């Protein structure tokens, strides 16, 4: 087993982790980015659409191009950044402050880091229904990976389950790939994603059926169709059902923050519905109750790449500061102003309410001595 040591370990090389690494490295910290995937970029590499947000967060630029921008920024401090792809951080042992990681499927290692920034993103939720084990039932992430990373269409005709931003955007991307979208079903009486994303597919003729969900998948050996059902105010089936032909059922029913490492590190965690799951309490520095651990991005609550990048910068800045490096702490106010702007709207109000539940002005009991 090899042993590696670094000043700052960044778990996850998505927009949050890359921004954190770049920021910390720019102040001279030695940073190691560990990423399970075969390339850096996280969710960004699959996003072929133009992003929202402001110019500071590259609005109007396609997601995968934003990943390129972050990677070239990291190159500027190349001497301070080590990257390991195809490597997963599998555990943290607080008694000797050591992380374990697995590279590929064979090789294991120990990583000793003075500080860690957990930017592990999120994992997809799925909903149960009869026959959901048939080939042809996918999560939206898999559909995007197949299509936008490997250039493989998942099928010919898709039923999309969920009208949040992911369901709406992936529907649009499917159409761009020449795949027909039979319908989008959404249990709520209102689309959850941005209205303009819905308008974009509506005007290309895709029905969005509100107060509808999937009842079951239909097919012998593979998906041949789906039965969808209407729901009432209390989300109970009204009895109205419709059988649809499709060879793909794509689920886009939400994400949950990936936080196992934080739990292992003893960070104080809380279940916050507005942030979509179990997340760590954090302060203005994005530091957790374990003073060696910071967190940023979707791992702190499901939000957007724009916010993930700013949170990553905050974590990187403050982790570098905690090592005694000469950082520009005035940046912290600037980053918070950016976050506050991003979260000021109708959509941000939910995030703000969630953060209020886990935000700490100061820690009552610090673990460090």
Partner 1 sequence: MDENESIFNSGVLTDELPGAIRPPQDLWEGKKSGLVVVECPQRIPCNPCATSCPTGAICAFSDINDTPRIDYKKCTGCAICVAVCPGLACFVVDLTFNEDYALYKIPYEMLPLPSKGDTVTCLGRTGEALASGIVETVVEPKHDRTYVIHVSAPKKLANDIRAIKVGG
Ligand X SMILES: Cc1cc2nc3c(=O)[nH]c(=O)nc-3n(C[C@H](O)[C@H](O)[C@H](O)COP(=O)(O)OP(=O)(O)OC[C@H]3O[C@@H](n4cnc5c(N)ncnc54)[C@H](O)[C@@H]3O)c2cc1C
- Interface ranges with ligand X (CB under 6 A): 11-17, 34-37, 42-44, 47, 51-53, 88-89, 119-122, 144, 165-166, 169-170, 258, 297-299, 303-306, 308
Q: Could you tell me how many residues make up the chain?
A: 369
Q: Which does 329 bind (CB under 5 to 8 A by kind): ligand X, partner 1, none?
A: none
Q: Give whichever of 27 and 92 is closer to ligand X, judged by the CB atom.
A: 92
Q: Give whichever of 50 and 270 is closer to partner 1, judged by the CB atom.
A: 50
Q: Give whichever of 26 and 144 is closer to ligand X, judged by the CB atom.
A: 144
Give me Rg for the CA atoms of the chain.
Answer: 21
The conformation of residue 97, written as its DSSP 8-state character, comes to: T
Three-state SS for 237? strand
Choices 26-34, 219-227, 263-271, 346-354 (CB under 8 A): range interacting with partner 1: 346-354
For residue 345, state whether it binds partner 1 (rule: CB under 8 A). Answer: yes
Minimum separation from the CB atom of position 334 to ligand X (A)? 19
Rounded CA gap, 361 and 56, in Å?
27
Exactly one of 40, 44, 121, 197 binds partner 1 (CB under 8 A); that residue is 197
Three-state SS for 91? strand
Minimum separation from the CB atom of position 95 to ligand X (A)? 20
User: Which of positions 15-74 make contact with partner 1 (CB under 8 A)?
Assistant: 49-55, 59-60, 62
Q: Are 30 and 6 in contact (CB under 8 A)?
A: yes
CA atoms lying within 13 Å on the CB side of residue 336: 11
Nearby residues of 117 by Cβ (< 8 Å), 6 or more positions away: 8, 9, 10, 11, 17, 20, 21, 24, 293, 294, 295, 296, 312, 315, 316, 319
Q: Which does 107 bind (CB under 5 to 8 A by kind): partner 1, ligand X, none?
A: none
Rounded CA gap, 154 and 54, in Å?
33
For residue 195, state whether it binds partner 1 (rule: CB under 8 A). Answer: yes
**Interacting residue ranges for partner 1, rule: CB under 8 A:** 49-55, 59-60, 62, 163, 175-176, 178, 189-191, 194-206, 208-210, 306, 341-348
């Amino acid at each position: 087993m090899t042993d590696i040591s670094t000043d700052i370990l960044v778990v996850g090389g998505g927009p949050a982790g890359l921004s954190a690494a770049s920021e910390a490295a720019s102040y001279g910290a030695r940073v190691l980015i560990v990423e399970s995937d075969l390339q850096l970029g996280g969710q960004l590499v699959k996003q072929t659409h133009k992003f929202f947000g402001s110019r500071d967060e590259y609005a109007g630029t396609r997601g995968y191009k934003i990943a390129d921008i972050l990677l070239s920024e990291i190159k500027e401090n190349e001497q301070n950044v080590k990257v390991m792809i195809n490597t997963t951080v599998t555990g943290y042992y607080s008694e000797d402050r050591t992380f374990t990681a697995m590279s590929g499927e064979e090789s294991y290692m120990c990583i000793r880091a003075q500080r860690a920034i957990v930017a592990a993103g999120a994992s997809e939720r799925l909903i149960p229904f009869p026959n959901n084990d048939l080939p042809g039932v996918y999560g939206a992430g898999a559909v995007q990976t197949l299509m936008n990373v490997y250039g493989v269409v998942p099928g010919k005709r898709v039923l999309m389950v969920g009208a949040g931003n992911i369901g709406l955007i992936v529907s649009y991307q499917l159409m761009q790939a020449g795949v027909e979208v039979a319908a989008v079903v959404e249990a709520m009486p209102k689309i959850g994603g941005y209205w303009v994303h819905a308008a974009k597919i509506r005007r290309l003729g895709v029905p969005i059926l509100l107060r509808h969900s999937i009842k079951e998948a239909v097919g012998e050996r593979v998906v041949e169709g789906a039965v969808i059902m209407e729901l009432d105010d209390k989300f109970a089936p009204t009895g109205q059902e419709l059988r649809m032909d499709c060879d793909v059922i794509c689920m886009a029913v939400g994400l949950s923050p990936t936080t196992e490492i934080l739990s292992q590190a003893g960070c104080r965690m809380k279940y916050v519905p507005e942030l979509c799951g179990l997340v760590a309490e954090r302060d203005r520095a994005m530091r957790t109750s374990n003073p060696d651990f910071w967190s940023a991005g979707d791992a702190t609550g499901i939000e957007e790449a724009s916010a993930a990048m700013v949170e990553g910068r905050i974590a990187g800045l403050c982790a570098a500061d905690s090592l005694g490096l000469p950082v520009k702490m005035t940046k912290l106010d600037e980053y918070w102003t950016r976050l506050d702007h991003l979260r000021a709207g109708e959509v941000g109000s939910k995030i703000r309410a969630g953060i209020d539940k886990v935000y700490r002005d100061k820690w009552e009991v610090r673990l460090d001595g």
